[in-house]
Amino acid sequence: MAYFYSGSDLADAREYYCDRCIHGSGTCPVWELHMDWTYEAAGKDGDETKARALEALWPRNGADNGDCRMFVEVLSVETLPNVRGDDATEAARR
């Protein structure tokens, strides 16, 4: 499960993942569960079921956090290919 060592570590993760994701941080189940369950799941007396669920959603990668598995980057119109090759698609980009 992802673990944030400080407020700045937490803010960096939000900026890198949540602020660029279609799920956002206000409605994202991964973010909400990590905020609700991290301390209950961590430690020697932690809840193993919650720890496994969090690990499945946002795993650790050694000493660091891995990638959020529900991360889907928001794409802007400018990044979409013009597959139809028409003027309407080009106009939408402007």
Kindly report, residue by residue over 12-44, the tens digit of the pLDDT.
988 888 888 888 766 788 888 888 887 778 777
The pLDDT tens digits for 39-63 are 778 777 788 888 888 889 999 888 8
Q: What is the pLDDT of residue 43?
A: 73
Q: Which two tokens stand for residue 8?
A: 């700045």
pLDDT greater than 60 at residue 89: no
pLDDT greater than 70 at residue 6: yes
Local structure of residue 80 (DSSP, 8 states): S
CA gap 29, 48 in Å, rounded: 19
Residue type, 72: V
Domain boundaries, given as residue ranges, for the chain: 7-93
Task: Provide the residue count of the chain.
Answer: 94
Write the CB contacts of 37 (distance below 8 Å, at least 6 apart in sequence): 47, 50, 53, 54
Percent of the chain topping pLDDT 90: 6
